[in-house]
Amino acid sequence: MGNAEKRIIELREKILDADYKYYNLASPDLDDYEYDMLMKELEKLEKENPSLVTPDSPTQRVSGKPAKKFEVVTHKVPMLSLSNSYNFDDLLDFDKRVRTALGERSYEYVCELKFDGLAISLTYEDGLLTKGATRGDGTKGDDVTNNIKTIKSIPLRIKSNKYKNIEVRGEVFIKKDDFIRINEEQETRGEKLFSNPRNTAAGTLKLKDNRTVASRPLNIFTYFLRNEDGGLKSHFENLSILKELRFPVNEHSKKVKNIDGVKKFCDEIEAIRDGLPYEIDGVVVKIDSQEQQEMLGSVGKSPKWAIAYKFKAKEKVTKINSITLQVGRTGTITPVAELEPVFLSGSTISRATLHNFDEIKRKDIRERDSVKIEKGGDVIPKVTEVILKDRPKDSVPFPEPKKCPVCGTKLEKPEEEVYIYCPNYFCPAQIQGRIEHFVQRDAMDIEGLGGSIISVLLENGFIKDYADIYTLKEKRDAFINIERFGVKSVDNILKAIEDSKEKTFDKVIFAIGIKHIGERTAKLLAKHFGSMEKLSKASETEIDDIYEIGPSIAKSIVDFFKDEKSKVLTGKLKKAGLKFELDESDKPELKESFAGKVFVLTGTLEKFTRNKAEELIEKYGGRSSGSVSKKTDYVLAGAEAGSKLDKAKKLGVKIISESDFEEMLK
């Protein structure tokens, strides 16, 4: 074995081990930089020695070419589905059937969580992961091997003499907080939102481009093992074998002696359900002994040795007393269902958003309807269905409003949007909404200045907009004199207002309430432009060019700063002393060759990861863009650069190599 080969093996070992520690054990032993360096070295050696590339190399987790379509895979052993039970009596019946079928034999159960994701099957041949497939209809699924390989908690090779030719099954899922983050990113890019973590995971596994798949945080819990060479006896033991083979196995799985143990498990899990970082919809109960599983067999598509205990749907039926209209800070009119209050998973619900009028039409939701409401993703209640048979005879569809319910201005509906807007910037609801947005915790964080105090201040003419908040200290005595406000609470508010001047520049960008600008985008903008001055002068193309920022955001920023009213507002804030620039410590260390220059990266870089190169460009005051245009200053071209390089040549943009780039960094 040559030196290169030895080193390659050593590097792979180190990287896969680091993946395992990071993804499966959540205790990383390398930092990002060390990890990147090992990966770079491995990529370089493999490039120099293409014959040494093997499918279990960590470099093979992401392949370059998008798949055209997925091949069909026939499962060697069908992937069954579980019959469901919804109450404990069903479980007692199940237990009775098991007892009868097994005669006098004693048996034990394994209880597991029922993960709300999608089932997949992994085939290992001679220790090597050769196939990853979706469940499909249980008999045939899609070959999604390339997508599965991007999940770093899944071993590409297993090290065992006993378990070499195996099939492992499990559930692929996305954690609740990752789901929220992915949707925020989708929103920022103006792309379609996912409805829940399960759909996000399913949609991701079916993407054709596995680079995108790799960027999504997919997880897996494995719960099934089949060994071609036999020798497996108990499901619970299988779970520990899976764990030893370095597959992720959920820590809540438990062996219990009898159906009472099952009940206890179900109750315990239901109590902690909301606090789990991933979604579950019940518990799965399985007979532990494999021999007994075989004796019990299956009926249709469901095994008789297992059952799912589904938690009660977090759903209730109630009545819509009326539909009211809410006017948001940007003028959006949101219809809200005012409900007959009902108790649903831990809280009383009396309102549910109906989102927009397209949604009302689609579900044909009307006042006085009986409806099903559900708590989606354990957070916001939504109306899922109208119970048509209970609809009052004289019911009529809810009309789309023509005038703003607060200020009476004629409403507008932009052609490409689903929302209806009140165009009156001075609509009292919008004024109040903008101020509430400005003071909220994630923006200027002015504690104590809640909605009701804001409306009193507005009514009494103390403030007209959010910038006026900073003049309140001059009106301290009058403020105190307004009925209900004590000296102490007023002083606390005034202090919180003063303290808010220390909030960083990105918080200020978020607080001023530009349409479509969330916290993440505000951060990107702050870092990119460095000052309000520059941001306010940026052109649409310049903003649109920022990675992760789309044209609708670019337009709304330009529109905001064009508006005289915004100029007055930001002028007042600047005078009040808010941060209109990045803090010194966050500022880029300008290098002349980078400052203000636009870079486009293309092809495969060898000495830097793409992220690292972009980070350096930004650090020294340049910025990187996704597409080549006349405004591009440099195209940094790595190996196998394609169309961007051609375009750069055509436009006469300066093309630099990695070593040129390194020179510039010096």
Active site residue ranges: 114
CB of 292 to ligand IVH, least distance (A): 14
CB of 221 to ligand IVH, least distance (A): 7
| Token pair listed for 191 | 């792309």
Stretch that binds ligand IVH, among 30-38, 110-118, 338-346, 505-513 (CB under 6 A): 110-118
Question: Alpha-carbon torsion 148, 149, 152, 156, what sign?
Answer: positive
Nearest-5° angle of CA 65, CA 71, CA 75?
A: 135
Instruction: Name the residue nearer to ligand IVH (CB basis): 135 or 623.
Output: 135
CB of 153 to ligand IVH, least distance (A): 16
CB of 203 to ligand IVH, least distance (A): 16
CB of 619 to ligand IVH, least distance (A): 45
**Interface with ligand IVH, residue 107, by CB under 6 A:** no
CA gap 200, 172 in Å, rounded? 11
Of 171, 374, 468, 545, the one binding ligand IVH by CB under 6 A:
171
Q: How many CB atoms lie within 10 A of CB 558?
A: 20
Tell me, residue by residue from 38 to 77, as one string, x for binding to ligand IVH by CB under 6 A and - for no binding. ----------------------------------------
CA gap 354, 360 in Å, rounded? 7
The residue count of the chain comes to 666
**Interface with ligand IVH, residue 235, by CB under 6 A:** no
Instruction: Name the residue nearer to ligand IVH (CB basis): 134 or 356.
Output: 134
CA gap 340, 352 in Å, rounded? 11
**Interface with ligand IVH, residue 148, by CB under 6 A:** no
Half-sphere exposure of 487 (CA within 13 A, CB side): 0
**Interface with ligand IVH, residue 174, by CB under 6 A:** no
Of 15, 91, 111, 119, the one binding ligand IVH by CB under 6 A:
119
**Interface with ligand IVH, residue 135, by CB under 6 A:** yes
Instruction: Name the residue nearer to ligand IVH (CB basis): 78 or 401.
Output: 78
CB of 531 to ligand IVH, least distance (A): 51
Q: What Cα–Cα distance (Å) separates residue 68 from each residue in 71, 207, 215, 271, 645? A: 10, 10, 20, 45, 25
Residue type, 160: S
Backbone angles phi, psi at 80, to 5 degrees: -80, 170
CB of 458 to ligand IVH, least distance (A): 52
| Token pair listed for 416 | 């490409």
Half-sphere exposure of 108 (CA within 13 A, CB side): 13
CB of 112 to ligand IVH, least distance (A): 4
3-class DSSP assignment, residue 665: helix
Of 61, 75, 114, 273, the one binding ligand IVH by CB under 6 A:
114
Spatial contact of 81 and 138, defined as CB atoms under 8 Å apart: yes
Bridge partners of 347? 344
CB of 92 to ligand IVH, least distance (A): 20
Instruction: Name the residue nearer to ligand IVH (CB basis): 224 or 661.
Output: 224
CB of 250 to ligand IVH, least distance (A): 7
CB of 442 to ligand IVH, least distance (A): 35
Of 53, 62, 80, 496, the one binding ligand IVH by CB under 6 A:
80
CA gap 182, 88 in Å, rounded? 37
Of 54, 60, 63, 81, the one binding ligand IVH by CB under 6 A:
81
CA 337 to chain centroid, in Å, comes to 27
Bridge partners of 100? none
Instruction: Name the residue nearer to ligand IVH (CB basis): 144 or 497.
Output: 144
What stretch of H or E contains 384?
strand 380-386
**Interface with ligand IVH, residue 512, by CB under 6 A:** no
Instruction: Name the residue nearer to ligand IVH (CB basis): 302 or 350.
Output: 302
Spatial contact of 129 and 149, defined as CB atoms under 8 Å apart: yes
Instruction: Name the residue nearer to ligand IVH (CB basis): 84 or 432.
Output: 84
Stretch that binds ligand IVH, among 80-88, 413-421, 537-545, 554-562 (CB under 6 A): 80-88
**Interface with ligand IVH, residue 112, by CB under 6 A:** yes
Question: DSSP letter string over 195-243?
Answer: SSHHHHHHHHHT-S-HHHHHHS--EEEEEEEEETT----BHHHHHHHHH
Residue type, 233: K
**Interface with ligand IVH, residue 205, by CB under 6 A:** no
Stretch that binds ligand IVH, among 78-86, 212-220, 514-522, 632-640 (CB under 6 A): 78-86
Tell me, residue by residue from 278 to 317, as one string, x for binding to ligand IVH by CB under 6 A and - for no binding. ------x------------------x--x-----------
Backbone angles phi, psi at 505, to 5 degrees: -55, -40
Stretch that binds ligand IVH, among 100-108, 114-122, 123-131, 422-430 (CB under 6 A): 114-122
CA 85 to chain centroid, in Å, comes to 31
CA gap 272, 263 in Å, rounded? 15
Burial 476-490 (b: 16+ CB within 10 A, else e): eeebeeeeeeeeeeb
3-class DSSP assignment, residue 249: coil
Stretch that binds ligand IVH, among 115-123, 255-263, 420-428, 545-553 (CB under 6 A): 115-123
Point out the residue whose Cβ comes nearest to ligand IVH.
119
**Interface with ligand IVH, residue 115, by CB under 6 A:** yes
Q: How many amino acids of this chain bind ligand IVH (CB under 6 A)? A: 15
Instruction: Name the residue nearer to ligand IVH (CB basis): 77 or 487.
Output: 77
CA gap 525, 506 in Å, rounded? 7
Instruction: Name the residue nearer to ligand IVH (CB basis): 57 or 234.
Output: 234
Instruction: For the segment 209-228, give every residue that binds ligand IVH (CB under 6 A).
Output: 223-224
CA 325 to chain centroid, in Å, comes to 29
Question: DSSP letter string over 105-170?
Answer: ----EEEEEEESSEEEEEEEETTEEEEEEE-TTSSEEEB-HHHHTT-TTS-SB---SSSSSEEEEE
Instruction: Name the residue nearer to ligand IVH (CB basis): 115 or 608.
Output: 115
Instruction: Name the residue nearer to ligand IVH (CB basis): 50 or 300.
Output: 300
How many DSSP H helices and E strands does the chain contain? 24, 22
Interface contacts to ligand IVH, rule CB under 6 A: 80-82, 112, 114-115, 118-119, 135, 171, 223-224, 284, 303, 306
